[in-house]
A and B are shown apart, each in its own frame.
Chain A
């Protein structure tokens, strides 16, 4: 396990929304090609922490960060880092399926087009590959020209995953990707996460304890802006060291 490469790392990260201290001194290492789940009650800072890794929090006015967030050992908040380039490398899937008001094909092709890919043949090939990796190809191959809004919620979410994968990132951030979906769609997404692990480093925020237990290698438990415990998922769920972790996973609060 030690020789595994560290993909993402947070060093003493503090984050503020104006005066509100949202993340308090967080340290964490995430290994390449692993799945890490963040759990914790609402407002504990796990989504905020996730969004630090593709600098999505930059969009919010009045936020402030101290400490370092590293991708492949490089500080992603360094002035020399181009944020568009970073986001190409760190894909994101959101809580609610948010396809663009475009066709299914154009949704997946979007990331390629905005990154200057002009070769239609290559775009077509990437769209098919991405849809296949997202286990959606068979369902949509005959209606690529239809609006993405015609798909079901679960299909839309897999479309969003395909869209994120089309530009070949090395990290996928998932912010409660299955919270708006029915159990069957959720199962499909989880299956997908298992598959994707081979090629991607995946960080997933979830409210669903069983989901965290099923999909992740490691789990981090957040509470009130602090990382309480971070360890192998088995250990967190079977034998946590902290009492508050134990209380949370057994459902005593949250």
Chain B
């Protein structure tokens, strides 16, 4: 009977363990499946085509070129490899400027022919048309239909997922925004965190430690939205007046908030690392006439180096994945920042802000999943780095 119970408990543990693993795996698979779908979506909005006149030598345009043409930044066909003529933009609605509505027929049955003739008659036209209004005898030339390319996704510099006729899914500003904010955070958090860790491990007496440690661990328990709120009402206005900025919502504000949030992790891990320096190592140094400070920076810190590195990487990991606080204080402009004093938009903030308004299953929706994949890969790399670093540490021995 007892044996049976033991087997039962073992079985339950095994099942719950494997269920958890399977669930996690399924989530990752789901993430990537949805994300990869992006690269099977057409560049041009579903159900629409881009067309030019038969006489136009241009056969295909990149998403960025299309956007610039429709934004009026490219105005001549020469700029995209055509002849030296001004581009004429034609959107579907413009048809009524050429033909009065009465001529379309009762059920718009003549509309396809009219569209066809407009495109035929204007040699410099680029037309953005719904597919369903193209007649069988359409006289224009359809531009090549391409799917969104991974190259444009990973190296594109523009993130305008809702722009028409061609949405821009360039993830580079978001990746850079995330890295900027996280890097800034770690640059701020590391000196403070290390200082506190050294103080706690080497200098503070027992009573001080007993007070400080719980307080620091308490920091980790504050919800991130509270940090975001604090950042918004305290740090953002402060930075704005300090650097005389037009807006205070900048990458730096995000870095400061994230630094505060990453501190507990960095302090705890670094303090542990410093604390594990063998006593004989300290005694050897002191025994040679070194004072406490010399011992700390010549022996203890080098010895704890890998542990401190692990603390940094864990801190970055915390910063990179953070959503709410960053969303609240960084300004969320999807541009590649030149300095820390400009607004940026991070990957998690983008997902949180846009998922609600992206139609499920559409390219925008899939692009957000792909962003999730990018974030997943970044944090995975960081976790593996921590494993390698701490693995090296335990195998080094003395």
Contact = CB atoms under 8 A, between A and B. Distances in A.
B4 to A, nearest CB: 50
A85 B281 contact: no
B286 A94 contact: no
A25 B215 CA distance: 45
A149 interface: yes
B288 A56 contact: no
A29 interface: no
Contacts of B288: 87-88, 91, 110-111, 114, 163-164, 167
B294 interface: yes
B103 interface: no
Contacts of B41: none
Interface string A142-186: 000000010000000000100110010000000000000000000
Given A59-B283, A94-B283, A98-B278, A111 B398 contact: no
A59 B286 contact: yes
Nearest to A115: B289
A251 interface: no
Nearest to B278: A98
B298 A98 contact: no
Contacts of A113: 298
B298 A56 contact: no
B332 to A, nearest CB: 46
Contacts of B283: 56, 59, 92, 94, 98
A96 B298 contact: no
B294 A114 contact: yes
Contacts of B287: 54, 56, 87, 91-92, 94, 164
Interface size class of A (residues with CB under 8 A): 20 to 34
A113 to B, nearest CB: 8
A78 B277 CA distance: 30
Question: Of A56, A87, A113, which is in contact with the most chain B CB atoms at under 10 Å from its CB?
Answer: A87
A210 B41 CA distance: 85
B223 interface: no
B299 interface: yes
A160 B284 contact: yes
Interface in A102-120: 102, 110-111, 113-115
Given A96-B280, A98-B278, A100-B299, A111 B286 contact: no
A84 interface: yes
Given A94-B280, A98-B281, A101-B303, A87 B286 contact: yes
Nearest to B294: A114
B285 A110 contact: yes
Interface in B345-367: none
Interface string B20-43: 000000000000000000000000
Interface in B265-294: 278-291, 294
Interface string B170-203: 0000000000000000000000000000000000
Given A98-B398, A149-B398, A84 B302 contact: no
Contacts of A111: 288-290
Given A114-B294, A114-B298, A149-B398, A100 B289 contact: no
A15 B151 CA distance: 74
Contact of A88 (B206, B284, B289): B289
Contacts of A149: 396, 398
A111 B303 CA distance: 17
A84 B285 contact: no
Contacts of A115: 289
Contact of B298 (A54, A59, A88, A110): A110
A226 B287 CA distance: 26
Question: Of A59, A87, A98, A163, which is in contact with the most chain B CB atoms at under 10 Å from its CB?
Answer: A98
Interface string B320-346: 000000000000000000000000000
Contacts of A110: 285, 288, 290, 298
Contacts of A54: 287
Contacts of B298: 110, 113-114
Contacts of A61: 206
A92 B281 CA distance: 12
Interface in A45-61: 54, 56, 59, 61
Nearest to A149: B398
Nearest to A55: B286
Given A101-B302, A114-B294, A149-B398, A84 B280 contact: no
Nearest to A85: B289
A7 B192 CA distance: 47
A92 B284 CA distance: 8
A80 to B, nearest CB: 17
B284 A94 contact: yes
Contact of B289 (A59, A94, A102, A167): A167
A199 B266 CA distance: 49
Contacts of B398: 98, 101, 149
A110 B279 CA distance: 17
A195 to B, nearest CB: 21
A96 B206 CA distance: 28
A54 B303 CA distance: 24
Given A88-B289, A94-B284, A98-B398, 6 more contacts: A56-B286, A59-B279, A59-B283, A91-B288, A101-B398, A113-B298
| A-B pairs, 3 with minimum CB distance | A88-B289, A111-B288, A114-B290
Interface of B: 206, 278-291, 294, 298-299, 302-303, 396, 398
17 contacts: A59-B282, A59-B283, A84-B291, A87-B287, A88-B288, A91-B287, A92-B283, A96-B280, A98-B280, A98-B281, A99-B284, A100-B284, A101-B303, A113-B298, A114-B288, A114-B298, A115-B289
Interface of A: 54, 56, 59, 61, 84-85, 87-88, 91-92, 94, 96, 98-102, 110-111, 113-115, 149, 160, 163-164, 167
